[in-house]
């Protein structure tokens, strides 16, 4: 999770709340305290297990994706270039975010490595998370450009994709600097914690809204705008092609006309481009699905619409599932693509063998006729 967001919940314990005298009997206090401790212990164990399972899945799955992309014959394509950078960012999220969160769960949040490493860790924690999200955003822009301006993408494809990815990594580094500045070490007796401290609650709202905008709102606006443009261009191109085909096919039979209309869309965009658009759309859909509950709940909690509750743990961890969903979606796409290639190769081989057999039979018949 972004340290800028989770800082709100970590540092709330540092604030002094007024004590309220209660007239409840002592034995009821004791029972309630024991029940709360038991519930907290259960949720702590569940959180610990979930974090380490997610860490293992993120690291293993994204490592496999990187290996597949390196060995693929299409590793130099635009789509695979973006997927390679996305897999690296997701792998780093697993290492710098999830694994370290698991270690902090084991130490009950205590930080024992000093303030310098606290700031460095929080910088990289946010850096890789931002990079993973912004690479998705620029990948959406690339998919829109490849359909709306294919000639420009063909002429300047390599330069534009490198510019887009380097911009994503660079912007992620810039946006992570405030996290390194704001995080400090605080002493609680003999124990130290690495977090942000604000005395005025309004700063938490400002901080959360800044994080919400940079991590979720702005990327979603970019993604939705890109795919809106893409769909608009495809629909307009499809309509133009249908009109042209209708004019040129006035004398065709109804059956031929239906067959023509069924392939018009494929004439507007190649099958490979269409499949890559499907893949990127699946990945960005996973991002929105995984991150929406996280930010909606935090938004309600920061503005005190709902009270903090241990059940928020699954919602918080759901955001990390985005880094698991990305490689899973890639594997589904890659498996489907390989299956279709095998079928195409098998069909081509069958046709070649059939043609060869027909040629041999024709040659024999010709020899018999003239002999």
Q: What is the CATH number of domain 3-12+34-222+271-330?
A: 1.20.1070.10
Alpha carbon distance 349, 62 (integer Å)? 35
Q: What is the mean pLDDT of residues 25-49?
A: 63
Query: What DSSP letter does each residue of 242-272 carry, written as one string?
Result: HHHHHHHTTTS-HHHHHHHHHHHHHHHS-HH
Closest among 184, 215, 2 to 93, alpha carbons compared: 2
DSSP line for 106-144: HTTT---SHHHHHHHHHHHHHHHHHHHHHHHHHHHHHHH
Average pLDDT over residues 25-44: 59
Beta bridge partners of 146: none
Whether residue 163 has pLDDT greater than 80: yes
Q: What is the percent of the chain where pLDDT is above 70?
A: 65
CA distances from 357 to 127, 129, 350, 361 (A): 61, 59, 10, 6
- pLDDT for 120-155, tens place per residue? 999 999 999 999 999 999 988 888 888 777 666 556
Chain segment 85-113, per-residue pLDDT in tens: 999 999 999 998 899 888 888 887 788 88
Write down how long the chain is: 371
Q: Which of 45-54, 135-144, 362-371 has the lowest mean pLDDT?
A: 362-371
pLDDT at 56: 94
Which ranges constitute the DSSP H helices of the chain?
Answer: 3-11, 26-71, 78-92, 100-106, 114-148, 150-182, 201-212, 218-248, 254-268, 271-302, 312-318, 322-370
Domain chopping of the chain, boundaries:
3-12+34-222+271-330
Contact 7, 195 (CB under 8 A): yes
Burial zone of 126 (CB within 10 Å; 0-12 exposed, 13-18 middle, 19+ buried): buried
Q: How far from chain centre, in Å, is Cα 317?
A: 14
The contacts of residue 104 (CB under 8 Å, 6+ apart) are: 110, 111
Spatial neighbors of 324 by CB under 8 A, at least 6 apart, are 54, 57, 58, 61
d(CA 101, CA 283): 25
Beta strand residue intervals within 152-229, DSSP E: 184-188, 191-195
CB 90 within 8 A of CB 327: yes
Of 2-16, 87-101, 216-230, 335-349, give the lowest mean pLDDT range: 2-16
Q: Is 4 exposed, middle or buried (0-12, 13-18, 19+ CB in 10 A)?
A: buried
The CA-based dihedral angle spanning residues 357, 361, 363, 365, taken in that order and rounded to the nearest 10 degrees = -170
Distance CA 295, CA 8 (A): 13
Residue 274, H or E segment: helix 271-302
pLDDT on residue 229: 87
Q: What pLDDT was estimated at residue 300?
A: 85
- When mean pLDDT is compared across 15-19, 29-33, 79-83, 314-318, the lowest value belongs to 15-19
Instruction: List the single range of 98-107, 298-307, 343-352 with lowest mean pLDDT.
Output: 343-352
153/242: higher pLDDT: 242
């Amino acid at each position: 999770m972004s340290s800028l967001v989770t800082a709100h919940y970590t540092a709330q314990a540092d604030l002094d709340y007024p004590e309220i005298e209660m007239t409840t009997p002592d034995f009821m206090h004791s029972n309630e305290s024991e029940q709360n401790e038991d519930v907290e212990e259960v949720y702590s164990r569940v959180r610990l297990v979930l974090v380490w399972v997610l860490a293992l899945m993120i690291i293993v799955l994204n490592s496999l994706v990187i290996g597949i992309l390196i060995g693929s014959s299409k590793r130099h394509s635009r789509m695979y270039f973006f997927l390679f950078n996305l897999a690296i960012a997701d792998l780093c999220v697993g290492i710098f975010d999830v694994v370290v969160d698991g270690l902090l769960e084991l130490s009950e949040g205590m930080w024992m490595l000093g303030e310098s490493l606290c700031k460095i860790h929080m910088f990289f924690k946010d850096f890789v998370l931002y990079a993973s999200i912004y690479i998705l955003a620029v990948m959406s822009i690339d998919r829109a450009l490849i359909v709306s301006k294919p000639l420009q993408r063909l002429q300047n494809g390599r330069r534009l994709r490198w510019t887009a990815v380097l911009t994503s990594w660079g912007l992620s580094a810039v946006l992570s600097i405030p996290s390194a500045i704001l995080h400090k070490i605080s002493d609680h007796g003999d124990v130290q914690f690495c977090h942000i401290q604000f005395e005025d609650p309004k700063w938490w709202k400002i901080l959360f809204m800044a994080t919400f905008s940079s991590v979720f709102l702005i990327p979603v606006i970019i993604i939705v705008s890109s795919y809106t443009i893409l769909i608009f261009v495809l629909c307009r191109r499809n309509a133009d092609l249908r009109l042209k085909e209708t004019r040129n096919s006035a004398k065709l039979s109804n059956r031929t006309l239906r067959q023509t209309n069924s392939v018009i869309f494929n004439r507007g965009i190649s099958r490979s481009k269409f499949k890559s658009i499907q893949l990127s759309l699946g990945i960005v859909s996973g991002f929105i699905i995984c991150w929406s509950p996280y930010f909606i709940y935090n938004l309600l909690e920061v503005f005190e619409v709902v009270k903090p509750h241990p059940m928020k743990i699954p919602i918080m961890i759901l955001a990390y599932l985005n880094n698991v969903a990305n490689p899973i979606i890639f594997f589904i796409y890659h498996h489907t693509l390989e299956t279709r290639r095998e079928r195409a190769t098998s069909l081509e081989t069958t046709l070649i063998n059939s043609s060869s057999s027909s040629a041999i039979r024709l040659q024999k018949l010709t020899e018999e006729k003239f002999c």
